[in-house]
Amino acid sequence: MDEIEAIKRKKLEKMLLRASQPKLEYPSSPLHVNEITLTETVQKYPLVLVDFYADWCQPCKMLAPIIDELAAELKGKVVFAKINVDQNPRAAMQYQAMSIPTLVLFKNGKPVDRMVGAMPKQMLLARLRRFLG
């Protein structure tokens, strides 16, 4: 009986700890990040798709409305972030965003997938679904 009580106690402590932690607020539109806030963002949320882009890039402009739509549709599951490579060259080098747009998917703070170039919404969604719990 002591072992069962210990297991119950541990489960209860775990439940109380989870309940006391604040709920994450998921944005319904992409976050604009920089070299400093990029790290904070990918560590804060379990699943973050970062769009490395530039204002002059035509494929980036084609992808932007797709990112906006998916940010709204997947609110609470995936956070979308955008980082301008011209203004944040160190982040682009760090994550090897040599061609743009480059999309890097982070899970629990670590890069787990990379996509280069504009793509249709359904193709991007299919890649994301593999990582949705």
11 lies in a domain?
A: no
Domains in the chain, number: 1
Active site residue 44: no
68-99 per-position pLDDT tens digit:
999 999 999 999 999 999 999 999 999 999 99
Pairwise CA distance, residues 100 & 5, whole Å: 56
Pairwise CA distance, residues 114 & 61, whole Å: 19
121: domain CATH number?
3.40.30.10
Q: Rounded to 5 degrees, what angle do the CA atoms 32, 23, 95 make?
A: 35
Q: Percentage helix, strand, coil, to 5, in the chain?
A: 45, 20, 35
| pTM for this model (two decimals) | 0.81
Indicate which residue of 60, 85, 115, 124 is catalytic: 60
43-65 per-position pLDDT tens digit:
999 999 999 999 999 999 999 99
113 lies in a domain?
A: yes
Active site residue 28: no
112 lies in a domain?
A: yes
pLDDT, position 22: 63
10 lies in a domain?
A: no
52 lies in a domain?
A: yes
Cβ proximity of 81 and 64 under 8 Å: no
Indicate which residue of 57, 66, 67, 97 is catalytic: 57
